Amino acid sequence: MCAAKKNVMDYSKWDKIDVSDDEDDTHPNVDTGSLFRWRHTARVERMEEFEKRKQDTEEAYSKARKNRQEIEGKLKSGADGATKADVDLAVKQEADAKEKWDDLLREEKKQAWNVDTLSKDGFSKTVLNKPSKRDTKNMTEEEKEQFYVDFVKKNEADIKKFAFFRNYDDSKNFLTEHMHLVCEETANYMVLMCLNLEMEGKSALMEHVAHQSIVMQFILELAKQLEVDPRSCVSSFFSRIKLADKQYKEAFNDEYSAFKIRIQERAKVRLEKAMEEAEEEERQKRLGPGGLDPVEVMNQLPKELQDCFENRDTSMLKEVLAKMDKDDAIKYMDMCVKSGMWVQEPSEGGDDENDEGDQPKPTLEG
């Protein structure tokens, strides 16, 4: 029974993990790599300073202990220059040095683990049931694109299931059973989901999927900082986010809010672009045989000519043209022909008996 107890792992040591370099009022942001690099440098400097202080304190304690032993040895051997007072002083100096050493060890024990301490020997191995075969670093852009298409085609249904979960426990359990989803491809697809939902006017649903998208991005960022397989960070992320650590929770919420704003802004730009493209497509369909847009030409005509085409009155048109300057009349009618608003059909025999052939196109109505 005792042997069994010795093999039970103490999971309490995972309660203090400092991955985001939380300090003061500054919060990590998964979109700001420079922030992580700056904080990593600052943390390394703090660690080096602590190690230097630890080394000096340990040396002082060792020196005081050695001094006490030497003085006690001299006193026992009756050597000159060693008194009881010297021994008492050496004992006191050793006790003071030991107290400082013990305080430092207690301080070290309270320190949160971080990227560098977790990366030391003893934490460098992560056993996963199914090793990842993903290696997009050496792929060409075309190969990466095809890899993404194939991944989405195979896993789209499962990605959407994860996107619509409502609590952390369900999300954790699902990812634990579908570890292959913990990757950049899933994160990218969920961003597109958010964008499409916002463009469709489904803002509430977009915000929900956006939350799950940030969950995935935080797991991937944690793995990047630890330089480990993202699948090994699933449990660590959910454990920490559920503990509701103030700074970590604020960092998550800050990125979640910023992400929603980016999605809304991007969706607005894409909708405006889509409307412009639709308008241009419609304009291209309207172009006449001479490449002019009848709507644009209509707006450029004098009011009296506009009335003629709106009323589809050929007689009125002839009267208006007869009163206009000859060059202007030719210019305007040339525009009408090129836009398809006026179709000239030559009369047989070259006479003008059939004026009904020269009619405004019936599709242009006021």
- What global pTM score does this model have? 0.48
pLDDT tens digits along 49-101? 778 888 888 889 889 888 888 888 887 777 667 788 888 888 899 889 888 88
Which tens digits make up the pLDDT trace of 220-237? 998 888 888 999 889 888
* Helix (H) or strand (E) segment spanning residue 1: none
Report the sign of the C-alpha dihedral through residues 4, 9, 12, 13, in that order: positive
Position with higher pLDDT, 68 vs 363: 68
pLDDT digits (tens, 9 = 90+) for 140-180: 888 888 888 999 999 999 999 999 988 899 999 999 999 99
The answer to whether the Cα torsion of 169, 174, 178, 184 is positive or negative is negative
Q: With beta carbons less than 8 A apart as the criterion, state whether 155 and 105 touch.
A: no
- 335, 294 Cβ separation under 8 angstroms: no
Residue 268 CB-half CA count within 13 A: 6
Domain boundaries, the chain: 15-114, 138-281, 294-360
Which residues does residue 174 pair with via DSSP β-bridges, in sequence order? none
CATH number for the segment(s) 138-281: 1.20.58.610
Joined tokens for residue 364: 């242009």
What residues contact residue 17 under an 8 Å CB cut-off, 6+ apart?
112, 113, 114, 118, 236, 240
Res 11 pLDDT > 50: no
